[in-house]
Structure formats: structure tokens, C-alpha cells
Chain A
Amino acid sequence: MLEEKISRRTFLKATALAVGALSVGAVGTFSFETWKGKRAEAERKDDIRVIPTLCAACSNYCGLNVYVKNGRVWRAVGLPQHPKSKGKICARGHGLLATPYLRQRLTQPLKRMEDGSFQPISWEQAFREIGEKLQEIRTKYGPGVIAHISYSGRKTARWYGERLLWALGSPNTFTHDASCNTGRVVGFEHTVGGTPGTDIANARYMVYMGRNLAEGITPGDVFELAKAREKGAQIVVVDPRGNNMYQMATKWVPIRPGTDLAFVLALAHVLIREGLYDAAFVKEYGYGFEQFAQAVEKYTPQWAEEITGVPAATIEEVARGLGKNKPRAFIHPGWRGPTGNSYANSVDTARTVALVNALLGNYQKEGGLIFGKNPPFGNLDPAKYPAPEKPALPRVDNEWTLPHNVVTAVPDKIRDGALKAIIVNSSNPVMHYNNPLYAREAYKLLELLVVVDIFMSETAELAHYVLPEVSYLERDDVVEGIGGKKPVVALRQQAIGKIHPETKASWEIYRGIAEAAGVGKYFNFTIDELNQAMLAPTGLSLNELKAEGTVVLNSPLLLGTPNFETPTGKVEFYSTNFKAAGFDPIPNWKPPLVMPDVSKGEFRLINGRQAYHSHTNTTRNPYLLALTEHYHGDRLWINRRVAERMGLKEGDWVEVRSEAATARVQVHLTEAIHPEAVFIYAPYGSLAKDAPGRNFAFSFMTLLPYHKLDPVSGIAMTQEIVVTLRKI
């Protein structure tokens, strides 16, 4: 025997037997190969558990049944009762199942050192130092310099983030919306009181303006669309690009990008001129219709043809199709496209879309637009769980009065010194909300940046502290409500054990920070206690919800009478809120901020969602990136005739130049795009050091001119980009 042994630690402990009595021979499946061969025998039936939970590939949060075998994800299917998935999951939902097992995941809390490198630290140290720094900053500058940013779909981050900020005395919570659908939200909210859903299956005539259900996928909506199509519905896609939804459409109207407002104003003109609108509905529910009708007199189809490039006859055809099929007809409110965040006129486009729908009298009607019924949620009992007061301080973005928050303004607020400390959760503001180079320089100025994420994002790279979260399959979240014809309650719950032990769920992270920052008394509950309190008014217990995952409440919405939550209680053809905010109360024509000069070889750079990616974080997924490679999904779409005149062939490399930057990309030649536009799918061109997505194409955001925000909504106007191309 050896006389000397070096010091070493033994992690494995033999428990049942003394080491010397290990009985390998008794283990029939000691051999890995034998075990693999006898897998079926070695596994018991109860090795497979089915856990209903929610996907996290996009904001749909579709219901999933996750099959877990030997503690690992084995398969997943859609939950049939979930209104978004209706029993199916998309490619992203399948791809994301790999997330817990990805090697790029963050595994330990990290602290950025003076030389810029990261040092792993304990949670205790991370909480202590973050708590101390928050208190120091609050004492030095006041609580209003602290902000929280999260993805708006992530209710847990939003709920806990707001509670923490309020506890600290700051009102400055932000979501990603100004980079997504704030134009639509502002337009609809101040016109009809909110953004309604669409009753696709029962509609007879539908117009989708830049809304692409086949790629910005909600599986349930695609089913509905197929049903409507089978019943003979007309589906009109108005888009500079013949997007994949065209396969389900009856008509594609290629429109000059940035001119959708002119198109819908002309639709309103035709509906009114030809008496195709629902006069009774407008009389009962409209406010300021006469002023609107007078304003749109000048917006004839001929006028719109000049601006949009869409023949006047097509505009009339679409208007008549809508008018004759009302109220089972609608223009979809859109999401992120022309009504969401693309142009200087996006908000007015959204307002006009809301108003054309009002002309069709389709609100709260079958086949029209429906304000869904939400589940009744409760809250924690403040006697037992003290709740922080909403801070009286004004928000830092209060120069915008119409949107709820303007995350795109954050870089300037940092530069102005109005923000000193930011906690970011499930969001990547440096990459997605402004030109990333502009944003990066601003976020570097913060005295404290804390990022909660599962990957080292562009924002995390700048953080003082990076806190690793568990993935969506390893955690419980706050209960979700989904509005609709029947209210729905859904829950994300832990399906598998933690892969990396030094990762935590968000709710634990907020509690840790709060305790260290001296406001722990507001977090004296578990997430189960919170969820039970929220569920109480629904009559559901948490255990019942955990068993089902998604529950449809038997409390159907009564259609027929709309309730417009505007200042007048009416559809505001004349917006009182816009008037009060100093903006045009009527949505008149407003050109986009920039127009490409075709004679100089300029194009508008437009972008959109791809069916197999959501944001840059899905480009961390090898399976989804393999789809990108297979389908050349990162190529720049260019009109074939234009490209051939430029001497370009499929797959050629070009340099794309805007006033802000240049990028390199391969081209895809196609007839399915307007000749004045080039198109790139949105998720590529990550700037993070370890992100595989950085090897694919470029991010349109890097070409976005520095920091121009819409004065109405604060959106970054992400398609107000003029570019030129040069073959390289």
C-alpha cells in the first residue's frame, strides 16, 4: 500500500455498502452498451412522467405536455385546451426543448472585474454586493435613478421587477414593447380602448397588413385560418413581401413599404363614399365620425395609388370585400409590422386600422374583432404580505404620455444621468431596442447593471453582475391569464431538475436582491403562495392547475355589445387623448420618415419574423440554426429583376450600407418582394462573443440610424432605414 497520499476530496460516497463490497456483478446493466440494449427492460413504466407546462419560444407561451423520462425531456406535445397551441407546437417549440442541455448556458453568478473579465462568485456575495450598491445609489441620487427592464411576455419578471422597484421607491419599470408593438398598442388604446383579438375562424374577409401568421406563428391562429379558408373566406395579404402566409391567402397586395397608412385611409374613404360602412354602429359607438369622414374625403384610391403603388382598383376591391362581408370581416390589428414599430406613421396606421374595423361594425361580433374576457385574478393579502406603494415620483420617460413605457428612451436617460442602475431580466436591451452600438455606449455608463439571463447576451456582456437563471423547463413561474371567448388560466411549472446547480429561478433572485437591499419584507412569500392568491377568485386550486397545466374557465364572453375603454367610452374617430397630448386628433396622412431614392439605387431595409426563430436567443439553438443553414434563411431578399440588373446572382455576397453602418450578406433573388425594398429576417447578426448567431447575416438594428424615436409612441421606427448595395 502507498504510504503517502496526496490530499484530495472525494465527491462520491458509497453508502449502502463498504467500498470493498461493491458488487458490480450483481448489476446486469453495468456495461453502458448492455444498458443501452436493455433500455426498455431497465426502465420502469413510472420512469415516464407527463408534466403540463408552457413553452417559452415566443410570447405565445403555448401549452405543452412535457414527457420526462429518466429525469430528462423525452418528448413534448401541444396541450389541446391551450388557445395558442391547440394541441400543436411549432418548430421553435420543439427546438427549445434542447435549452436546458445547451452548453452555452450561464452556470454561475458572475461579477465583472476592473479589467473587464468576469469572475464567478457565490449567490451570497452577488446578492450582498447588489443590495449594497442599490442602497448606495438610492441614497446618493434618489430612488428614481433605478430602473427594471423585462420582456413584457415574462409575467414573473414583470411582476417581481415592479414589486422590487416600487419597494425601492422607483416607478421606472420598462418592457420591450417599444421595440415590438407599442405603435399598435398606442393606436388601438386611444381609439378603441385596447387591442382586441380576432375571430379568424368565423370571418369571411380578412386583411393582414404585414401580419404574418405563418411565420410570426400562433399555432391556434393558423388552425383558425385554415378553417376559415375551408369555409371560403377571402384572405388578403398586404405586404411588400410575399410572405409565407401567401400560401393560405387568396390575394397578395405588394405595397410600397411605409405607405400602409395611405392604403387604410383610402379603404376608409371607399367604405364611407360608397355607403359600405355600418352607419348604425358608427352612430351608436362613434365619437367624432364627421371630422374623420371629412378628413378622409381627400384620401381617394387614386391618391393612395400614387403613394402605395397599389392600383386604385385593388384598393376599391379590398374595401368592397370588407364592406360587403361586414361584420364578419376585419383588418387584423397587426403586431410588430407596419402598425407596431416600423415607421413614423405606424401609430396612425394602427389608429386607422382600428377605425376601419369600427366602420365595419365588427367589434364584439362573430368573425370580427373581440375584446376577450380575462380570468379574474386575486393578489396577496396585504395584511400578511405587506405590499409596497406605487411611487409618487414621475417616470423618467414622462415626456411620452400616450404609451405606458418607452424602453427605447433608456440610452438617452442614462446619458442624461437620469438612470444610474438597471436590473434586466429576460431581455436584451443593448441588442434589440436601439442601434446596438449606440445603446452599448450608453449602458456602459451605468453605475450598476444587473442582468438575469440564461445566456451571455450582448447586455450581459456589459453587466456588473450576471445572474444565471434556470431554463423554462426547470422552473415555476407566475400564473398566466389568457383572454378570449372563454378566459384561460395557465401555468409554467418545473418539468425537470436543475442541470446547473448554481442557477436560480427569477422569483428566488428577486427575493435575494430585495433582502440584501433592505426591502425583503415585501417578499415574504413563495411563488406557490403568490399563485394560490392569484388563483383564488377563479375557484381553481394551485394543485388543480398543476395537474391540468391549462384550464379553460367556463365563463363565456357574451358577444354583441362592445365596451370601449376610451375617455368618451366610444370609438374615437377624433381622439381626445391625442388632442390633449398635442397630436393630430384625426389620423391624417403622414409620410414615413425616409424614402429611398430608387434612381440612386437606394432600397428600404425591412425585416420580419421567421417561422423557426424568435429573437437572437433562438439563434443559440443548434437545431434551429440548422434550419437556417438548410433553407439559407439568413439571406437578404431582393427583387429578382432589380438584382439581375445589378448583375447579382443567387447567393452572391453584397455589402449593405446605411448612414449608420455597413454589413455583409448573401442575397436571395425572388419575385416575392417589392422592387424598392430589401428584406432580412430579424434574429441574426448577434454581437455577443459566444453567440453562434453572430456568424449569420447581420442584424438590421445595427444599420438603424442612431436614435430617432417617434414623438408619439417612442418606437424606434425600425424600418426607417435606407440602404444601398454593393456586390463584393
Chain B
Amino acid sequence: MNDGIHSAKAELYRFFAEFFKPPEEGFYQEITSPRFPEELSRWFQEAGYSATTSAPNLRELWSSFGEFAEDYRRAVSGAIHPYAPPVESIYKPWTEDPGAEVPMAGQRGYFYGDPAVHMRHLYDELGITLPPEYASIPDHLTLELEFLAFLFEAGEAEAARLFIREHLDWLGDFRAELETTPRGGRYARIVAWLEELLRQETSEGGRKDG
């Protein structure tokens, strides 16, 4: 096991998780600082990932914190509609429970579906707590990326890859929705970048985890 690699991966996924939290200016200043691209590439290297072709230039992508915050508010926060929810359940059948007698069973587009119930199950089983405001959206992307980071930190690389295949397989649909959501285009590029990274992680040749 290579602690350095896992730790770097955990940091990278927490970095991506930060995009889907209510924006803070400190984060924006760091990711748009002149030295950030170099640091980022070092992290990639440390994590054993190759350079990603879809990585955007964050300074060019968002010219101000206001722009970044406004994209978050309009495209992913849910405060303003229409928006693209960064929530797994929305993009998966609500439930495959054969006993469920509700109209949304088997349908997509609803909150708190099976993915959310399973995420809660995982948090409960592994002694992880989540903030009250996310109690009914345990499958929010920011939490799933943090969970992924936990897995890497715990040295559970195989489990992490299984988690990516099963719980982060909806990002393409999310990205497609962002692309048609007002002010969602720049977030779509972040998701495409994340997808490329996850593909590296799950492809046979892309793994370097010792």
C-alpha cells in the first residue's frame, strides 16, 4: 500500500468536492492563483494520475469569485430553477424495491432514491456522520467525493474503485444536464474533468496505487 498516493488521491477528490459546496472566496483565490496549475500537476503526479486533457484553466474559466458563486447559485444549488442537482438519486431509478407501491418507483428524477438510502447505510455502518442539512441528500456529489476520499485514506483502493463504478457512474448524465442549464456550462467542464480522472482510476492501466 502506498500512503502517499492514497493521501494525494484523497486530497484531489476533496478538491473536487469543494466545487459543489456553497462557494467560499478563499477556495476561489487559491484555485485561480498563478501557482495553482503547477501545484495541481504535482498532486496529479503524486496521486499517480496522468495529466488530464479536459482540465480547464480555472483562472480563465471564472474571472471573478462573483462569477463562480453565481454559477453555483444558478446551476447547482437548487435555490434557483431550473438547475442540475448534483445528487445521484436524480439520475437513477428511485427504487428497485419490488414491494414499493409508489408512482416514482423505477422512475428517474426524484430525490432520496435507492442511492441515497445505500449511502446512508454506508455512513451508518462505517460510523460516519453527515451534517444535518444533508440528512436527506446523503448522495450529494460533495459527500460522495468526500466518502471516496475517506476510502482512499483508509487504503481501500479496491473498494474505492467499486464505489466509483457504482455510485459515481451518473456524472455523464449530470454533465449533460448542466450543459443545458443556464450558467451550467462551466460546471459541466469541471464534471468532465472529474470524469476523466475517475476513468483513469477505474481503467486497468490507469491505476498506480501500489
Residues of A within 8 A of B (CB): 1-2, 4-17, 19-24, 26-27, 29-33, 35-36, 39, 42, 69-76, 94-95, 97-98, 100-104, 107-108, 110, 117-120, 456, 497-502, 622-623, 689-690
B146 touches A11 (CB 8 A): yes
Can you list 14 A-B contacts with CB-CB less than 8 angstroms, sorted by A residue number?
A1-B4, A8-B15, A8-B18, A15-B127, A27-B125, A30-B159, A32-B166, A72-B95, A74-B99, A76-B102, A110-B79, A497-B135, A623-B107, A690-B81
CB nearest to B155 among chain A residues: A20
Q: Given the complex of chains A and B, what is the CA–CA distance between A427 and B36 in angstroms?
A: 51
- B26–chain A nearest beta-carbon distance, Å: 5
User: Does B51 count as interface, using CB distance less than 8 angstroms?
Assistant: no
Q: Which residues of chain A come closer than 8 Å to B111, judged between CB atoms?
A: 100-103, 499
- Which residue of the partner chain B has the closest CB to A13? B129
Partner of A498, one of B82, B109, B136: B136
**Given A14-B127, A623-B103 in contact, is the A32-B110 Cβ separation under 8 Å?**
no
Q: In the complex, how many angstroms separate the beta carbon of A87 from the nearest chain B beta carbon? A: 15
Contact A456 B81 (CB under 8 A): yes
Sorting the interface of chain B by its residue count into under 10, 10 to 19, 20 to 34 or 35 or more gives 35 or more
- Once A33-B166, A101-B111 are accepted as A-B contacts, the answer to whether A120 and B126 lie under 8 Å apart by CB is no
CB of B133 within 8 A of CB of A502, answer yes
CB of B147 closer than 8 Å to a CB of A: yes
> How many A-B contacts at CB < 8 Å in the complex?
195
- Cβ contacts under 8 Å, A497 to chain B: 135-136
A22 and B156 within 8 A (CB): yes
Instruction: Name the A residues within 8 Å of B39 (CB-CB).
Output: 4
Enumerate chain B residues within 8 angstroms of A22, measured Cβ to Cβ.
126, 150-151, 153-154, 156
Q: Are B17 and A8 in contact (CB under 8 A)?
A: yes
Q: Flag if A501 contacts B136 (CB, 8 Å).
A: yes
- Per the bound structure, the CA–CA distance linking A501 and B30 in Å amounts to 30
**Cα A104 to Cα B104 with chains together (Å):** 15
A1 and B3: CB pair below 8 A?
yes
Contact flag A74-B100 (CB < 8 Å), given A32-B118, A101-B94: yes
Q: How far is the CB of B103 from chain A (nearest CB, A)?
A: 4
- Report the bound CA distance from A119 to B39 in whole Å: 35
Q: What residues on B are CB-neighbors of A120 within 8 Å?
A: 73, 77, 79-80
- Return chain A residues, CB-CB under 8 Å to B142: 11
In the assembly, what is the distance between CA of A94 and CA of B105, in Å? Answer: 12
Nearest CB on B from A30, distance (A): 6
- Cβ of B60 within 8 Å of any chain A Cβ, yes or no, is no
Which B residue sits closest to A72, measured CB to CB?
A: B112
Q: Which of B101, B112, B129, B133 meets A101, CB within 8 Å?
A: B112
Separation of A71 and B116 alpha carbons in the complex (Å): 11
Indicate if B208 sits at the interface (CB-CB under 8 A).
no
Query: Is B150's CB under 8 angstroms from A12's CB?
Result: yes
B residues near A (Cβ < 8 Å) are 3-4, 7-8, 11, 14-15, 17-18, 21, 24, 26-27, 30-31, 39, 42-43, 46, 73, 77-82, 85, 90, 94-97, 99-104, 107, 109-115, 117-118, 120-123, 125-137, 142-143, 146-147, 150-151, 153-156, 159, 162, 166-167
Report the bound CA distance from A456 to B82 in whole Å.
11
Asked if A35 and B136 sit within 8 Å, CB to CB, the answer is no
A11 touching B27 in the complex, CB below 8 Å, given contacts A27-B122, A30-B162, A33-B166: no
Instruction: Collect the chain A residues with CB atoms within 8 Å of residue B127's CB.
Output: 14-17
Residues B4 and A11 in contact, CB atoms below 8 Å apart:
no
Q: Take A14-B126, A103-B85 as given contacts and tell me if A29 and B155 are in contact as well, using a CB distance cutoff of 8 Å.
A: no
Q: How far is the CB of B80 from chain A (nearest CB, A)?
A: 6
Known: A2-B7, A23-B126, A104-B81. 5 other contacts (CB 8 A): A12-B150, A15-B128, A36-B118, A101-B94, A110-B80
Question: Distance in Å from the Cβ of A617 to the closest Cβ of chain B?
Answer: 15
Assembly CA distance A324 to B4 (angstroms): 94
A27 shortest CB reach to chain B, Å = 5
CB nearest to A117 among chain B residues: B80
- Which of A6, A42, A74 touches B101 (beta carbons < 8 Å)? A74
* Residue of A whose beta carbon sits closest to that of B162: A31
Are B128 and A13 neighbours in the complex by a CB distance under 8 Å?
yes
User: Assuming the A-B contacts A14-B150, A102-B110, are A690 and B43 also in contact, with contact meaning beta carbons closer than 8 angstroms in the complex?
Assistant: no
B166: A residues at CB distance < 8 A: 31-33
CA gap between A71 and B79 in the complex, in Å: 24
Given that A24-B151, A70-B117 are known contacts, is A11 also in contact with B110, CB under 8 Å in the complex?
A: no
Chain B: minimal CB distance from A457 (Å): 12
Contact of A2 among B11, B77, B78 (CB under 8 A): B11
For A36, the closest partner residue in chain B by CB is B96
User: Do A9 and B135 touch across chains, with their CB atoms under 8 A apart?
Assistant: no
What residues on A are CB-neighbors of B122 within 8 Å? 27, 30
Question: With a CB–CB cut-off of 8 A, which chain B residues contact A24?
Answer: 126, 151, 154, 156, 159
Chain A residues with CB under 8 A of B118: 29, 32, 35-36
Q: B17 near A75 (CB under 8 angstroms)?
A: no
In the assembled complex, the Cα of A189 lies from the Cα of B112 at a distance in Å of: 47
A97 to B94, CA, bound (A): 13
Complex Cα distance, B152 from A20, in Å, reads 9
Chain A residues within an 8 Å CB radius of B133: 501-502
A42 and B121 within 8 A (CB): yes
Known interface pairs A8-B17, A9-B21. Does A622 touch B107 (Cβ–Cβ under 8 Å)? Answer: yes
Chain A residues whose C-beta falls within 8 Å of the C-beta of B18 in the assembled complex: 6, 8-9
